[in-house]
Amino acid sequence: MDENKVIICRCEDVTLKEIRDAIREGFTTVEEIKRVTRSGMGPCQGKTCGLLIAKEISQMTGKPMEEIELQSIRPPYGGITFEEVTKGTVMENDK
């Protein structure tokens, strides 16, 4: 199998080779691999690659899947304008 032709993260175009290289270099969490390869940073936010990367880590390190965490996920879940963020908010009852 040509690892260079297997895509793991479709949004950021990260190949199986890049993921395996990162694991070999000692990055053995999904979060670390995200930071060094950009996998999971695209529009789908790791929905495609997250599980595949976790499985790859499990296979290469022998760690069971149950012990592997997915990357952290933070709000916002999609794009918004800065204006919306900076406008500020009050509670409904406060007036």
> Of 64-93, which residues contact other proteins (CB under 8 A)?
65-66, 68, 70, 72-78, 80-81, 84-85, 87-93
- Closest approach, Cβ 9 to other proteins, in A, equals 9
| Total interface residues for other proteins by CB under 8 A | 38
The b/e string for 34-72 (b: 16+ C-beta within 10 A; e otherwise) is beebebbbbeebbebbbebbbebbbeeeeeeeeebeebe
Tokens describing residue 62: 């022998």
Residue 81: CB minimum distance to other proteins, A: 7
- The helix (run of H) or strand (run of E) holding residue 33 is helix 30-37
- Selected binder of other proteins within 6, 24, 25, 36 (CB under 8 A): 6
- Among the listed ranges 21-29, 31-39, 46-54, the one in contact with other proteins (CB under 8 A) is 46-54
